[in-house]
C-alpha cells in the first residue's frame, strides 16, 4: 500500500511567521494528495487537495504543490495567525486501485501560533 511521512511537531510560531510542514509519500501511480486540519475538539476538515502532478492546492492562505519528482506535498503559509493553531495531517489514498476515499494519514503536526 501507499505510505506518507510527515514532519512531526509540535511547531510553535509567532503570528505572521512563515510556515512549512513537510510531507513526502510513497505510492503506486499518481494519487490525489490532501491536507486535512483538525481544530481542538473537532473532526477533520479538508484544507486543500491536488489531484495531479504540478497541481497547486490552496485555501485560506495555505498552499501545497504536488511534486512528483520529489514525491512531496509540503504545506506552506506566508503569514500564520493565532486561529491557524491546529493539527495538520497530510493524506493520500490507502492503496492504488482501491476506494479513493480510504485514506492513510501522516502522524500529524501540531501547530501553535503565539500572538
Choose among 45, 77, 49: nearest CA to 65. 49
Mapped onto helix, strand or coil, the DSSP state of residue 7 is coil
Candidate ranges 22-30, 55-63, 73-81, 90-98; the one touching other proteins (CB under 8 A): 90-98
CB 111 within 8 A of CB 84: yes
Cis peptide, bond prior to residue 10, ω within 30 of zero? yes
Q: Annotate each residue in 19-48 with x if it binds other proteins (CB under 8 A) or - if it does not, as one string.
A: -------------x-x-------xxxxx--
Q: Give the end-to-end CA distance of the chain in Å, rounded to a whole number.
A: 41
Q: Annotate each residue in 50-89 with x if it binds other proteins (CB under 8 A) or - if it does not, as one string.
A: -x-------------------------------------x
Q: How far is the CB of 106 from other proteins (least distance, A)?
A: 6
Q: How many residues does the chain have?
A: 115
- Interaction between residue 106 and other proteins (CB under 8 A): yes
Q: DSSP secondary-structure letter at 71? A: T
Position among 88, 108, 111, 113 found at the interface with other proteins (CB under 8 A): 108
List residues binding other proteins (CB under 8 A).
32, 34, 42-46, 49, 51, 89, 93-94, 98-108
Amino acid at each position: 500500500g501507499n505510505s506518507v511521512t510527515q514532519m512531526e511537531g509540535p511547531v510553535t510560531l509567532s503570528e505572521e511567521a512563515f510556515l512549512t510542514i513537510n510531507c513526502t509519500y510513497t505510492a503506486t501511480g499518481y494519487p490525489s494528495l490532501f491536507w486535512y486540519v483538525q481544530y481542538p475538539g473537532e473532526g477533520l476538515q479538508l484544507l486543500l487537495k491536488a489531484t495531479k502532478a504540478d497541481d497547486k492546492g490552496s485555501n485560506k492562505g495555505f498552499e501545497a504543490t504536488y511534486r512528483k519528482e520529489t514525491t512531496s506535498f509540503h504545506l506552506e503559509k506566508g503569514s500564520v495567525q493565532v486561529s491557524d493553531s491546529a493539527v495538520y495531517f497530510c493524506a493520500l489514498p490507502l492503496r492504488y486501485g482501491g476506494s479513493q476515499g480510504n485514506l492513510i494519514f501522516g502522524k500529524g503536526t501540531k501547530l501553535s501560533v503565539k500572538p
